[in-house]
Amino acid sequence: MSAAHGRGAQTLRTPGRHGYAVEFSPYLPGRLACAASQYYGIAGCGTLIVLEQNEAGIGHFKSFDWNDGLFDVTWSENNEHVLITCSGDGSLQLWDTAEVTGPLQVFKEHTQEVYSVDWSQTRGEQLVVSGSWDQTAKLWDPAVGKSLCTFKGHEGVIYSTIWSPHIPGCFASTSGDQTLRVWDVKTSGVKIVIPAHQAEILSCDWCKYNENLLVTGAVDCSLRGWDLRNIRQPIFELLGHAYAIRRVKFSPFHASLLASCSYDFTVRFWNFSKPDPLLETVEHHTEFTCGLDLSLHSPTQVADCAWDETVKIYNPTCLTISP
């Protein structure tokens, strides 16, 4: 793996590995993880790549191989060394960067590809949620060897499962069935079903400043904002992407700022409170851009990854000025 600088971005090349997801460590500034797959995730194995920034740029810290493609990654919220990935073989893997090999544990219950995994950000609970092409979401305690609960209701593959940063035991999911759903682990059932798009919905995220606000990104190239107190229509719609939106993330630092990446190879930054909401378009990938994250430590830093076998860290112009 080799690092390079170009047009303000720090780049780490991942030969033979196509990036699906990237996430900054919540503990260690400059450390991030990438879930990647051989052969675009269609065949072959996967690799968890842990990266670290230093004075020279971005470097390879550690990597772990798995025997199927890896599609998502999430850091532990109570141990700076621990991560969970999810895979095409229906399993979740628990890794420890302090160990030489791994994984420490494998959770295998889903019957098809697991496309999404997220560790709860709510202090006091150590819960992980996964979403699968088997149309179910599952709840896990990493200290327990089996799932705690299975959530059924989606009528298509689940692409995204994201914990609320505000409400303990509450998560959202999106699916090929064109719905956004909000679930409560205490009742093991769905609280809200929103027919959010007339297309498959590949991603969603919660606003960090408003417990009632979520955003969805779909194959119809649109982003839509949803207020859970009134779900009859979106409170905003953002248009500009030319192909399916693969991932969307709200800013940890600005209440109305979000970012999205797409199969149109771009990352776009938006402020939905402005009349002209598109702030910036970043075009530095040559393939589907699948992974995206905004740093919890730096208000200006962004990471993304793509099928062009690169991970990039950069500071978009729009984040270096007041939005």
Does residue 280 have a pLDDT over 50?
yes
Q: What is the distance between the alpha carbons of residues 20 and 73, in angstroms, rounded to a whole number?
A: 9
Give 37-106 as a DSSP string: EGGGGTSS-EEEEEEEEETTEEEEEEEEEESS-EEEEEE-SS-TTEEEEEETTSEEEEEETTSSS--SEE
What does pTM read for this prediction? 0.95
The 10s digit of each residue's pLDDT in 72-103 is 999 999 999 999 999 999 999 999 999 988 89
- DSSP tag of 167: S
Q: What is the distance between the alpha carbons of residues 62 and 14, in angstroms, rounded to a whole number?
A: 12
Q: What are phi and psi of 40, to 5 degrees?
A: 60, 20
Q: State which H helix or E strand residue 240 sits in.
A: none
Average confidence score pLDDT of the chain: 94
Percentage of the chain beyond pLDDT 90 is: 87
Does residue 2 have a pLDDT over 60?
no
The 10s digit of each residue's pLDDT in 251-262 is 999 999 999 999
The 10s digit of each residue's pLDDT in 13-64 is 999 999 999 999 999 999 999 999 997 777 789 999 999 998 888 999 999 9
Q: Which residue has the higher pLDDT, 312 or 187?
A: 312
Does residue 263 have a pLDDT over 90?
yes
Does residue 224 have a pLDDT over 90?
yes
pLDDT at residue 1 in the model: 56
